[in-house]
Amino acid sequence: MRKIICCNFITIVVLFFAVDFCYTKFYFDANDVALAENAQSEKAYRVKHDVYHHTLKSNFNGYGVWGRKSYRICTDEHGFKISCYQKEPSGTQFDIAFIGDSFTEAVGMAYEDSFVGMFANRFNELKIANFGVSAYSPSVYLTKVKHILHGGIKFKHLVVFVDISDPQDDSARYIINSKGSIPNLRKIANKIELNKPSAVRVLIVDNFRLTTVLYRYVRYDLFGPPQDLHRQSINISNWTYNSDSEGYGELGVDHAIDLSINHMKELYKLIKLNDIKLSVGVYPWPDQIFNDKLIGNRQSKIWKDFCAYRCEMYIDLFPKFADLRRSIGAEKVYSRKYLNSDVHFNKSGNSLVFEALFESYSKYANQ
């Protein structure tokens, strides 16, 4: 009897994988044309740049893909993310410019659902520019802003949202050459390759879509947010409470932090020479929500000290997230403020950033 049950079970499993493979190869791709086209446009609008490594394609109107979700994305003549309802060119004169990485670009979000878009909508008398693009860090902030200024674009105030991943990007990914450009990645970046999926995982995802969808549903949807999300990115984000974190090259975490600070100091000098004001914002990743203190967090302290005599505003999201964690717990903070199975903010998370930004800017403007 056991032998029969075992044979039947094996037969069912084999049949399931056979059907899954055939579905993936012959049916899935044919019936997922829209997503496939969106994925291609995602590659099309993320383009190489000779000075600051990469940017968004100018005058793009289409769809991006984040995970299995597609979303509308538009850029202006400079490659800055804008509202798709904007009909006129942006021009070269701005009141406030934002720069940061994927959180500031707001991957997975239409412009209107991002904190920059919310700010622009609330203060519609101001001209707002979003210089932010995924995988930027202070070395790129510096080279991009310098290039933008040399290109004749003017702005009065720069708001930099410094990300938890910035020190690693500055130490392991980017290096500014003698010409002041970042045309290529550091060689060390090819050696670190954090969180690179295994060959088995790639094989399953590419050839067995039903299995992948079922696994993700059981793990992420049926049982709620992944408990190990913070572990998946631990070598990127745990430096705020672990000075021995891996992935920062031979010189370690402290050197990586110093690199980011030095690039930000150079950025401050550059914009000060151009009579541009500076503000800085910080926010936690899920890793900090689950594993770290939020009041007095190392990221928060570093940039507060940096801002002591340089910044018009210091926008610190850590206290707001600390209050949330005390009231509803880490799991609910994650599920309500971050994209599912991701480290980035959802619309509600972007709204929280906007609220902090609105409070800071209102006080600043009324001084």
If you average pLDDT over every residue of the chain, what do you get? 85
Determine the average pLDDT of the residues in 44-61. 93
Per-residue pLDDT, 190 = 44
Residue 86 lies in a domain: yes
Residue 95 lies in a domain: yes
Residue 203 lies in a domain: no
Residue 313 lies in a domain: yes
pLDDT band at 136 (very low <50, low <70, confident <90, very high): very high
DSSP 338: B
Q: Which of 18-22, 230-234, 252-256 has the lowest mean pLDDT?
A: 230-234
Per-residue pLDDT, 203 = 65
Higher-scoring residue by pLDDT: 282, 201: 282
> Among candidates 43, 118, 127, 124, which has minimal Cα distance to 89?
127
Total number of domains in the chain:
1
- In terms of Cβ atoms closer than 10 Å to its own Cβ (0-12, 13-18, 19+), residue 286 is buried
- List, for residues 62-85, the tens digit of each pLDDT value: 888 787 678 899 999 999 999 999
With residue 42 as reference, give the H or E element that holds it: helix 33-45
Per-residue pLDDT, 27 = 61
Residue 231 has pLDDT above 90, yes or no: no
CATH of the domain at 334: 3.40.50.1110
Per-residue pLDDT, 360 = 97
Kindly state the tokens that stand for 104.
Answer: 């500031």
Residue 219 lies in a domain: no
Task: State which of 11-15, 32-36, 245-249, 274-278 shows the largest mean pLDDT.
Answer: 274-278
Higher-scoring residue by pLDDT: 231, 61: 61
Half-sphere exposure of 298 (CA within 13 A, CB side): 16
The answer to whether the CB of 279 falls within 8 A of the CB of 228 is: no
Residue 1 has pLDDT above 90, yes or no: no
Per-residue pLDDT, 367 = 85
Residue 277 lies in a domain: yes
The answer to whether the CB of 182 falls within 8 A of the CB of 52 is: yes
318-328 and 347-365 helices, crossing angle to 10°: 130
- List, for residues 169-188, the tens digit of each pLDDT value: 999 899 999 999 998 887 65
Per-residue pLDDT, 34 = 46
Higher-scoring residue by pLDDT: 132, 221: 132
Higher-scoring residue by pLDDT: 316, 246: 316
Q: Which residues contact 318 (CB under 8 A, 6 or more apart)?
A: 282, 283, 284, 288, 294, 295, 297, 299, 300
Kindly state the tokens that stand for 29.
Answer: 């791709």
For 264, the 3-state DSSP assignment is: helix
Residue 113 has pLDDT above 50, yes or no: yes
Per-residue pLDDT, 195 = 42
Per-residue pLDDT, 28 = 52
Other Cβ atoms within 10 Å of 90 Cβ, number: 17
Residue 23 lies in a domain: no
Kindly state the tokens that stand for 173.
Answer: 């990914």
Residue 54 lies in a domain: yes
Q: Provide the domain limits for residue 38.
A: 33-195+233-365
Distance, in Å, from the CA atom of 349 to the CA atom of 354, rounded to the nearest integer, reads: 9
